[in-house]
């Protein structure tokens, strides 16, 4: 009910309801005046307000709640084109061209920083990642293989690098195909951390951060859900291995050169001036080659000359000779002729760290910090430029083009067309991480909706596998079959995930889960860091550590956790859709402690822990500052004065009475000094009664 609606609309008139001193009325309305007598016999005149002219105000209209996921309207705050003169129009055109060029420059450095970031991660954790593949007993465990794929891809920040290691191991018969498939699934999860990190750069604005983080994590949820369903299915049936084996056996391929990397042609001239790596060392470490354990991954010599010559060498016995005709004995030594290969260094590489005698970890740390700074700077500038360019009519056209569906009955085709667009764009840039990371700022500022970003992300997953397929088709004969089969396993894994989580709108769980996480992180922004640490580090490391102990220990620890999670999910579904089937106590989560069902206590704890770093001075400094202020009287420019400022007390605001009481009769009574409880000159008490209707 609206508060006091009749008082605001009721308009008592002094002509109809003015009681004269002798008790007569100047005008007698119908049912407007009732005269009663109290216990003493004194007549009491009741005056009623005229009802409101409309009862519409009595009905409380539901206020429309703004949907936080609606795309914002990017209004053009500048001068309209029609209002500009010739000079202003020319200046506006040159400004648009300049902004477009700056956008391309920042986008170029953004992509280059991603490439350098991947190299930095490989220098810092590449050798550790390569050692994960050494233990064959762990690799036989599908769950352990999946988390190894996650950890390796997170450490090297490149799914193509981890996939190439797996392909090399399969080609060398060190790893069977059925053990390599879970690693590929894990690599698919690990590669989605890049755009999630990029989304953290928009944490300054809650609304932008909600959309950007949800748009980035929709990729995470798709990969996690696909693995949760398809990994047990693959372990039980081996359908991916059998399907790809049939496809590979049914075709005959020819060898060729490596597939061209289109984006590398543009970025390599700049990134190679910063750092160059010998990535073959990771493959050799994964194959348990002890000779490269202490070898640096930083490439020093870019031009070498390899020569094979015949030389006389000594052998332990004549059985070790190349042939009897090329073997002779000279006293105590047996000699033979063998082909000896030696490599001669010709020219050094031209990058910054070529002459620095620094370890891989130090160089990797320097590049990691630098690339992150450049990445953040470029991303912030890209967002600012996009916000200034995508306004008014331009924003309306772009948003309408990207987010509008085809007319009925072909609206369902729009999503599948977006999947093809995402696959094509990823094939052009040769990296799903680059495409999804570049799309994240657009989601944040509201140009692309979450519903449209989801199929584009699915297309990016397919696009990155087609690149691997083309590279496999052009690989040497020794690795052709294995690399093609692994690439096809990656391809059909993503196709299976799309079949599970896209065609039916009800099954598009990644969108709902990403929106829920976006709402949480927009309110508690520290939870985004907690999410990254838990899902990409703690859970994979815990599973990997339990796998080292043994399979029974992993099952014994994981089974209760999985059962608790399933119980929570079932209870949540019943609470939402069928609460009547549950006991009264289980219809909500109020039976749990507050810290188990809400992030608010944790938010207070983290806020209190971080606030100590934001204080201007510690307790001891405050005492010193108070003494300083007391002795010399610090001015406002002195730093000590900040510690001595007292909080201003909040003044109580007077309560404002409803406007309906400020009528003419009351104003007249107030001027005459007569209150409600006072009796007028004729002895008649005047009482106003308020009716609801």
The pair phi, psi for residue 678, each rounded to 5°, is -85, 155
Range name among 450-454, 626-630, 648-652 with the lowest pLDDT average: 648-652
Q: What does the pLDDT read at residue 114?
A: 77
Answer yes or no: are the C-beta atoms of 532 and 223 closer than 8 Å: no
Q: What does the pLDDT read at residue 254?
A: 53
Roughly what angle, to the nearest 10 degrees, separates helices 539-549 and 551-577?
140
Given a cut of 50, whether residue 684 has pLDDT beyond it is no
Q: What does the pLDDT read at residue 172?
A: 66
Tokens of 634: 């610090």
User: pTM of the prediction?
Assistant: 0.65
Q: What does the pLDDT read at residue 143?
A: 85
Q: What does the pLDDT read at residue 7?
A: 42
Q: Is 485 exposed, middle or buried (0-12, 13-18, 19+ CB in 10 A)?
A: buried
Tens of pLDDT, residue by residue over 253-290, are: 555 444 455 567 788 888 888 888 887 787 777 777 77
Beta bridge partners of 238: none
| Extended beta strands in 152-225, E state | none
Candidates 513, 528, 524, 386; CA nearest to 444 is: 386
Tens of pLDDT, residue by residue over 58-94, are: 444 455 556 777 766 655 556 676 777 888 888 888 8
The pair phi, psi for residue 12, each rounded to 5°, is -70, 135
> What mean pLDDT comes out for the span 669-685?
43
Ranked by mean pLDDT, the top range of 205-214, 310-319, 458-467 is 205-214
pLDDT band at 44 (very low <50, low <70, confident <90, very high): low
DSSP secondary structure of 609-648: HHHTTT-SS-HHHHHHHHHHHHHH---TTSTTHHHHPPPP
User: Which DSSP state fits 358?
Assistant: -
CA 331 to chain centre: 74
Q: What does the pLDDT read at residue 494?
A: 92
Hey, is 397 helix, strand or coil?
helix
Report the distance separating Cα 636 and Cα 633, nearest Å: 10
Characterize the bridge pairing of strands 685-689 and 43-48. Answer: parallel
The pair phi, psi for residue 502, each rounded to 5°, is -130, -50
Task: Give the end-to-end CA distance of the chain in Å, rounded to a whole number.
Answer: 12
The pair phi, psi for residue 405, each rounded to 5°, is -90, 165
Q: What does the pLDDT read at residue 116?
A: 85
pLDDT band at 42 (very low <50, low <70, confident <90, very high): low
The pair phi, psi for residue 101, each rounded to 5°, is -65, -45
> What mean pLDDT comes out for the span 474-491?
78
Beta bridge partners of 685: 44, 679
How far lies 516's CA from each of 128, 210, 509, 574, in Å? 35, 10, 11, 18
Question: Over the chain, what is the mean pLDDT?
Answer: 74
Q: What does the pLDDT read at residue 553?
A: 84
CA 393 to chain centre: 29
CA 654 to chain centre: 47
> What mean pLDDT comes out for the span 506-518?
91
Hey, is 29 helix, strand or coil?
coil
Q: What does the pLDDT read at residue 500?
A: 92
Report the distance separating Cα 323 and Cα 301, nearest Å: 37
Give 175's contacts (C-beta < 8 A, 6+ positions apart): 133, 136, 139, 166, 169
Tokens of 175: 């790893």
Q: What does the pLDDT read at residue 4?
A: 46
Q: What does the pLDDT read at residue 492?
A: 93
């Amino acid at each position: 009910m609206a508060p006091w609606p009749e008082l605001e609309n009721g308009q008592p008139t002094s002509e109809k309801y003015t009681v004269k001193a002798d008790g007569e009325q100047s005008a007698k309305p119908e049912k407007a005046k009732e005269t009663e007598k109290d216990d003493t016999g004194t007549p009491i005149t009741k005056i009623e307000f005229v009802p409101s002219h409309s009862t519409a105000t009595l009905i409380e209209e539901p206020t429309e709640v703004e949907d936080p996921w609606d795309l914002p309207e990017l209004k053009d705050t500048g001068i309209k084109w029609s209002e500009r003169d010739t000079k202003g129009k020319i200046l506006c055109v040159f400004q648009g061209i300049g902004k477009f060029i700056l956008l391309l420059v920042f986008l170029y450095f953004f992509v280059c920083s991603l490439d350098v970031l991947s190299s930095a991660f490989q220098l810092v954790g590449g050798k550790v990642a390569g050692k994960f593949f050494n233990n064959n007993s762990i690799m036989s465990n599908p769950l352990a293989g999946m988390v190894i794929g996650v950890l390796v891809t997170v450490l090297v920040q490149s799914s193509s690098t981890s996939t190439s290691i797996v392909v090399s191991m399969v080609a060398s018969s060190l790893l069977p195909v059925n053990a390599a498939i879970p690693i590929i699934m894990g690599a698919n999860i690990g590669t989605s951390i890049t755009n999630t990190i990029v989304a953290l750069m928009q944490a300054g604005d809650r609304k932008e951060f909600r959309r950007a983080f949800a748009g980035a994590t929709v990729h995470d949820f798709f990969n996690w859900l696909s693995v949760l369903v398809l990994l047990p299915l693959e372990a039980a049936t081996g359908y991916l291995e059998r399907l790809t084996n049939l496809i590979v056996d049914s075709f005959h391929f020819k060898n060729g050169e490596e597939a061209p990397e289109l984006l590398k042609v543009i970025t390599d001239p700049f990134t190679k001036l910063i750092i160059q790596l010998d990535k073959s060392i990771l493959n050799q470490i994964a194959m348990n080659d002890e000779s490269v354990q202490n070898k640096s991954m930083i490439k020093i010599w870019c031009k070498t000359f390899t020569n094979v010559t015949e030389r006389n060498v000594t052998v332990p016995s004549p059985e070790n000779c190349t042939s009897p005709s090329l073997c002779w004995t000279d006293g105590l030594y047996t000699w033979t002729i063998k082909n000896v290969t030696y490599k001669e260094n010709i020219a050094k590489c031209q990058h910054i760290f070529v002459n620095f005698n620094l370890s891989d970890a130090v160089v990797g740390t320097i590049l990691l910090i630098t690339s992150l700074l450049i990445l953040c700077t470029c991303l912030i500038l890209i967002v600012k430029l996009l916000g200034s360019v995508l306004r008014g009519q331009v924003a309306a056209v772009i948003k309408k083009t990207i987010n509008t569906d085809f007319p009925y009955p072909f609206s369902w085709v729009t999503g599948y067309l977006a999947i093809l667009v995402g696959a094509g764009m990823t094939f052009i840039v040769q990296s799903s991480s680059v495409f999804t990371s570049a799309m994240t700022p657009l989601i944040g500022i509201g140009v692309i909706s979450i519903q449209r970003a989801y199929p584009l992300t699915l297309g990016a997953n397919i696009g990155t596998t087609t690149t691997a397929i083309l590279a496999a088709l052009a690989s040497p004969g020794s690795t052709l079959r294995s690399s093609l089969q692994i690439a096809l396993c990656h391809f059909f894994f993503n196709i299976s995930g799309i079949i599970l989580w896209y065609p039916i709108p009800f099954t598009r769980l990644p969108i709902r889960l990403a929106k829920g996480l976006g709402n949480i992180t927009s309110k508690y922004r520290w939870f985004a860091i907690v999410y990254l640490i838990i899902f990409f580090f703690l859970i994979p490391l815990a599973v990997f550590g339990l796998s080292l102990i043994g399979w029974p220990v992993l099952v014994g620890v994981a089974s209760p956790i999985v059962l608790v999670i399933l119980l929570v999910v079932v209870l949540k579904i019943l609470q939402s859709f069928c609460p009547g089937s549950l006991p009264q106590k289980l219809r909500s989560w109020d039976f749990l402690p507050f810290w188990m069902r809400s992030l608010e206590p944790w938010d207070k704890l983290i806020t209190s822990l971080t606030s100590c770093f934001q204080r201007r001075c510690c307790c001891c400094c405050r005492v010193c500052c108070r003494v300083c202020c007391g002795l010399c009287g610090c001015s406002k420019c002195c730093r000590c004065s900040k510690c001595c400022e007292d909080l201003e007390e909040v003044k109580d605001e007077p309560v404002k009475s409803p406007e309906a009481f400020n009528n003419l009769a009351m104003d007249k009574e107030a001027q005459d000094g007569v209150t409600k409880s006072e009796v007028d000159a004729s002895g008649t008490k005047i009482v106003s009664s308020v009716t609801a209707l």
